[in-house]
Structure 1
Amino acid sequence: MRVDSKINSNSEYFDFQKFVRAIFRQKLVVIGFTILGAALAASYAFLATPVYEAKAFVMPPSQNDISNFNYGRMKESELVPYTVKDVYDIYTRYLQAESLRLEFFSKIYVPSLSAQEREKSRNVLYSTFSQVLRVVPPLRETSDRYSVVVQTSDPQKAKEWVGAYVARAGELAKNEMIKNVSIESEVRARNLEQQISSARGKSSKAREDSIARLSEALRIAESIGLEKPPSITVSQSVIAGGEAGQLTYMRGSKALKAEIESLQARKSDDPFTEHLRDLQDRYYFFKELKTEPASVSVYRQDGAVELPDSPVKPNKVLILILGVIGGLITGVAFVLLRGLLAVKSE
């Protein structure tokens, strides 16, 4: 067994030596393939169109940025204040929305292409656009920073597109937030208007009821000839209408007539309607509530978008290294294959 193992080991060592000698004898062929691979790689690396990359990073707005969204939103108004997360979620939804990508594709990307490039099918163009513009979500669960990446052959265009895309998402999100606040304010104003109308109706009915009670008391006072209140000690609350108004007639017909005439001549019950002014103040507040777009923000940009000064593609060094390695492997494979064919032909 030991003799067989030693023979196999010597045989393998001999084959390896033959392999090395064969490559060494034809080293010029291997070197030629290596140089060819390096030349092809260099041609691609230096002739390929350079691609520049621009990035923008966005993060949640500050509490101060969204404070005007919460103007008038408190427990007393029954409107729950917006949180930073509520606002930023709307922004990131637009940032990743397919509708925004299609809008940017149609209005920005396609018009920037040459007439020849625009002749390609829309699916092909959109597939290329998906590689040009990417929205990268947070890399960690604890992070909330998104990035927008644009890769194109024009560095100035890459910078402008990144800024335009981030700003357009912010504009759409801000418009939705303002619309939400406006609708909620309008609904709240309508509810208060209904409460004001109800309070006025209740006050009007109360006046009619008072006139009916006083008219009845007047008839009683006139029937017994009571013109003035009697000079007896009676509780003022009883005379005024206590005990279901049974002794109201004791105020005398003269006072009752005057009060009835005053109630009938009253043009408005507003001054006598409980809590009406408070309801009106809140109604006008929500009716006139407006949110100025310039006073709010739905995101913050983390740093300015820099103009790229060096291309990210092609990676010339990496391409040259891969070209040399590829040429070397191809040369060795060619030498071995030629040697194998020569052995078989013998």
Structure 2
Amino acid sequence: MSSSFRAPLVRPSNGIDFVALSKFVWRQKKLLLLVTLGCGLIAACYAFLVTPTYKVSAALRPAAINDLDALNRSEVYQLPPVDALLKVGAALESYDTRLAFFRANQKLFEPFVRPGQTLEQSFEAFNRDSIHLILPDTDKKDSLSAYVKLEMTYPKGIDGVAILNGFVDYAVRVERKQISADLDVIVKNRINELKGRFDSARSNYEVEKEAKIASLRENDALKRAQLQDELRALRSQLKALRNDRIAQLNEAIGIAKSLGIQKPTTPSSLGESRNAGANSVMRTEVNNQQVPLFFMGVEALNAELVALKQRKSDDFTDPRVAQIAKELQLLASNREVEVLNARENEDIFLAGVQPLRAEMARLSSLNIDMAGLKLVTVDQQALEPLVAASPNRLLVVLLGLLGGAVLALCIALLRSAIVASRDIIKERSPGSQVSRLNARGHIGELPDQQHSIQPIQK
């Protein structure tokens, strides 16, 4: 008897049997439940055991115009509200300001200090991770106004509200002190500038005063020299005139002696004396010529000559000499120079310094209450948070359950794939098919396979 046997054909499936897969996964529902609950329990332990982290924030807005009116009306330091907000924001962001506040309040920051780290290293971690400054987006046109927001995240056990509010107050005080120092410096510089201009005006006045005194004295000296020259020339002239008069008198005396004129006479009288025999006649003489000097007679001429020779000074003969003496006496002392030298408070005579004096007085009496200067408006103070910012326990537990469910499903699918691969390998093995036929005693259908039986021919 002869026989023939055809091995079963194995054809791989072209798709996934989702029904069979679902049944396989459902048979592992206990594994799914255990893995999901385990992951949820792990997430719950994390959510309730990890240290909660809280977040607080404070918002600042520009101060009102009247809060800065006293400073701006001083005309020394101009500070619009927006600029004041930016200054405070710069102080809040300043590394030095934060470090100074950290050093000044070490008790508040004790939980941030780590063993083996310096104070600056601990502050660096706090400054990098815990506190952040938020500024408005200038590109957005719908922003109602400028603001500065400061946020801080901190773990449980730290007084974050006190730290944030204290830091805001500290930054405002620091900036207020800085503005006060700047104002003092500006006022002092302005006063020094005004004093310099005032001193310059005083120096100019003193120079002008000395120049005026020198000019007055120079004019007096020049006039005095001119008068003295005039006086000497006038006296020389008077002496020459006296000598000329003496010469004229001597000449006239000689003529009078030759004519026998002893007494003063006139030409008509002289003619009548020589014609004594004639009848007495009264004549009227009109003569516009000067009568010669010798008609004065010898006696009169000698008397004048003796007087002229005995004269010691001719000053009285010309009134100009007395006038010159008067002017020289007036020039002996210049009253204007004496008045200029006698001035005690010369500042009142300075020209053009009244505005400087008024400005100096205003700046010296400038009194701005810097302690009450309100630079910004605290729109929102840091308040004690009601719930922790992280972790969100409910969300963590839900995510843990969801992750556990996904992990359990992946495990189930992986087991299904492993089992299916193992079955396929066994079914494709020829020895496995023969042993399976022998065990059954007849040829039957194999799962998921097609087969054919041919009759045995003898």
- Normalization by structure 1: what TM-score? 0.77
Q: Report what 1:89 is aligned to.
A: 86
Query: Bigger CA drift: 319-328 or 282-291?
Result: 282-291
8 Å Cα contact 1:178/1:291 also seen in 2: no
Instruction: Report the AA paired with residue 118 of structure 1.
Output: R
Instruction: Report the AA paired with residue 312 of structure 1.
Output: A
Question: How far is the alpha carbon of 1:17 from its aligned partner?
Answer: 2.4
1:273-295 Cα deviation digits (max 9, x unpaired): 11223312212433454543223
Q: Report what 1:332 is aligned to.
A: 409
CA distance in structure 1 between the partners assigned to 2:46 and 2:197 by the alignment: 77
Q: Report what 2:40 is aligned to.
A: 38
SS at 2:17 equivalent: helix
Listed as ranges, the matches of 1:212-251 within 5 Å are 212-219=214-221, 222=224, 223-224=226-227
Closer/same/farther in 2, CA of residues 136 and 345 from structure 1, 3 Å limit = same
Q: Report what 1:279 is aligned to.
A: 356
Pairs aligned (count): 308
Q: Report what 2:374 is aligned to.
A: 297
CA distance in structure 1 between the partners assigned to 2:422 and 2:183 by the alignment: 87
Question: How far is the alpha carbon of 1:193 from its aligned partner?
Answer: 0.7
The answer to whether structure 1 residue 145 and structure 2 residue 147 are counterparts is: yes
CA distance in structure 1 between the partners assigned to 2:122 and 2:370 by the alignment: 38
8 Å Cα contact 1:56/1:147 also seen in 2: yes
Query: Bigger CA drift: 323-332 or 177-186?
Result: 177-186
8 Å Cα contact 1:156/1:307 also seen in 2: no
1:232-286 Cα deviation digits (max 9, x unpaired): xxxxxxxxxxxxxxxxxx9x93797222211122223212111223312212433
Q: Report what 1:118 is aligned to.
A: 114
8 Å Cα contact 2:60/2:378 also seen in 1: yes
1:86-129 Cα deviation digits (max 9, x unpaired): 322221111111222333444446864359x6215455773355
Closer/same/farther in 2, CA of residues 289 and 155 from structure 1, 3 Å limit = farther
8 Å Cα contact 1:53/1:149 also seen in 2: yes
SS at 1:294 equivalent: coil
Closer/same/farther in 2, CA of residues 304 and 41 from structure 1, 3 Å limit = same
Question: How far is the alpha carbon of 1:333 from its aligned partner?
Answer: 0.9
Q: Report what 1:76 is aligned to.
A: none
Unaligned runs of 5+ in 1: 1-7, 74-78, 226-249
Q: Report what 1:343 is aligned to.
A: 420
8 Å Cα contact 1:65/1:295 also seen in 2: no
Identity %: 21
Query: Bigger CA drift: 53-62 or 63-72?
Result: 63-72
Q: What CA RMSD, in Å, does the superposition of the two structures yield over aligned residues?
A: 3.1
Listed as ranges, the matches of 1:36-185 within 5 Å are 36-73=38-75, 81-108=78-105, 112-113=109-110, 118-121=114-117, 123=121, 126-127=124-125, 130-139=128-137, 141=139, 142=143, 143-154=145-156, 157-185=159-187
Q: Report what 1:188 is aligned to.
A: 190
1:318-342 Cα deviation digits (max 9, x unpaired): 1111011111011001111222222
CA distance in structure 2 between the partners assigned to 1:18 and 1:99 by the alignment: 69
